[in-house]
Amino acid sequence: MGVIANGTADRTSRRSVDRTNLHRVWRTVLIGLALGVAAACYFVPALLVVIGALVLLLLCARLVYRGRDRYIPNLYARDIRMYDDDYRAFITDSLADLRQRKIPGHTLLWEASQLAPPSPENARELQLDLGVWLGWSTRLTADACGRTVHGFDTFSGLVEDWAVDDQMVVKKGTFSLTEPLAQRLMAETGVTMDDDGVPDPLGRDVQFIKGMTYDTLAPFLAARPDAPIRLFHMDLDTYESCLHALETCKDRFVEGSILVFDEYLVTNAEMQAFYEFQQKYGLEWRYRAWGLEIWEMNVEMVTSRWKRLAYYFLAVGIFWMLGGGNFAWAFHTKRFWRFWLGAPFGDIVFMLGAAGQRKSVSLEITGLGSLARDNDNR
């Protein structure tokens, strides 16, 4: 079932869970840019006229644009008309609901901090982190909730190709800890590996399980019979891995289980897997939060303050120049038009205020549907 590494921590106290300094830096940059534009308009009034004309043109174009809400926030890539009527309705309803549940921080840490402190009553509950890369999401989740967290990963990258809507295909093996970026961040954040290739817990109450979840998840649960899942964090990325994990864990979900999906708004991956899963078993559930993914946590844990600041600016630059942020300025791409013409203004403000992806979503199971009958018959 793989290699397990154990760590210890003080379960009676919780550490800070605010890991959004990168985004504070970005907001400071935005404020500086706004002040610079305001000063330029003061000294060159014609510039204010040009900006006003562009804003008016944008407002008029939005009135006639027919693609409103067809595209997914933060991606604005895949036209949801390619899906069947039921799934398209699910996406539309989800987005309307999620827009009422925006949070400024990381969804996973926010949810972990909401869990009740450890007690004899909840000692058997499981907190699972599926897909951990360097392991910081697992460690910081343990900090936030004060409970043991189990992190699952191959530590050798994706186990299958990951098609990100109609934008790109991330190849099998990507995100291996042997890659230069992972090696650099491991050195900068103090992460070391044991002889079996498992990251050090670094004093947190975490257990890392090495191997594919296709092989490790079922034996892990079998060794803990009847233990319910309280927190389930999905960061395996692909549709196949996500659906397999949901199916494997289905008998351990209970009313009140919290499911966090790191990239839920990729509609042909995590969202599609959960849609099919909840439809198959008739689950009842409600959305709780929409916020930041967890990749920024790795930068937040760089030990040197000055190196961390340099990483902040590097991360901002990469995201806005080469990553998902370039839809805001790359006018030669479809996503540029879909974003500015089709996105609600609230989405535009929400997304421009972040220096990273906001695709992470959490939900709570409120009714087990046919899973309750299946569990009764076991």
Q: Which of 325, 327, 328, 333 is nearest to 356 (CA)?
A: 325
Structure tokens at 53: 């004309």
Helices 45-64 & 21-43 angle (0-180, nearest 10): 120
Rg (CA), the chain: 22
Q: How far apart are CA 194 and CA 138, in angstroms?
A: 17
Q: Which pLDDT belongs to residue 377?
A: 55
Amino acid at 338: R
For the chain, 378 residues long, give each residue's pLDDT as a single digit of tens.
Answer: 455 555 444 444 455 578 899 999 999 999 999 999 999 999 999 999 999 999 999 999 999 998 888 888 777 778 888 899 999 999 999 999 999 999 999 999 999 999 999 999 999 999 999 999 999 999 999 999 999 999 999 888 777 777 776 676 777 777 788 889 889 999 999 999 888 889 999 999 999 999 999 999 999 999 999 999 999 999 998 899 999 999 999 999 999 999 999 999 988 889 999 999 999 999 999 999 999 998 888 999 999 999 999 999 999 998 898 888 888 898 888 889 989 999 998 899 998 889 888 999 999 999 999 998 666 555
Q: Which residue do the tokens 């817990």 mark?
A: 201
Residue holding tokens 């929400």? 350
Which of 267, 237, 338, 242 lies closest to 84, judged by CA? 267
Which range marks the domain in which residue 295 is found? 4-376
Domain count, the chain: 1
Beta strands in 229-283 (DSSP E): 229-234, 253-261
Question: Are the CB atoms for 30 and 363 separated by under 8 Å?
Answer: no
Token pair for residue 3?
């290699």
pTM of the model: 0.91
For the chain, strand residue ranges (E) read 4-6, 102-106, 126-130, 149-153, 162-164, 168-170, 206-210, 229-234, 253-261, 284-292, 360-367
From the number of C-beta atoms within 10 Å of its C-beta (0-12, 13-18, 19+), residue 32 rates as exposed
Q: Any idea what the Cα angle at residue 315 is, between residues 309 and 317, rounded to 5°?
A: 105
> Which of 294, 18, 290 is closest to 144 using CA atoms?
18
Assess contact for 21 and 355: CB atoms under 8 A. Answer: no
- Please say whether the dihedral angle defined by the alpha carbons of residues 243, 276, 149 and 158, taken in this order, is positive or negative: positive
- The SS3 assignment for 15 reads coil
CB count within 10 Å of CB 31 equals: 10
What size, in residues, is the chain?
A: 378
Amino acid 39: pLDDT: 96
Q: What is the pLDDT of residues 176-199, one digit of tens each?
A: 888 898 899 999 999 998 888 899
Instruction: Please give the full DSSP string across 175-229, using - where no structure is assigned.
Output: TBTTSHHHHHHHHHHT--B-TTS-B--TTSSEEEEES-HHHHHHHHHHTSTTPPE
Helix, coil or strand: residue 367: strand
Largest CA distance in the chain: 76
Sign of the dihedral defined by the CA atoms of residues 359, 365, 369, 370, in that order = positive
Backbone dihedral angles phi then psi of residue 286, each to the nearest 5 degrees: -145, 145
Query: Quick one: pLDDT at residue 12?
Result: 41
pLDDT of the residue at 9: 42
Q: How far apart are CA 50 and CA 81, in angstroms?
A: 36
Q: What is the pLDDT of residue 2?
A: 52
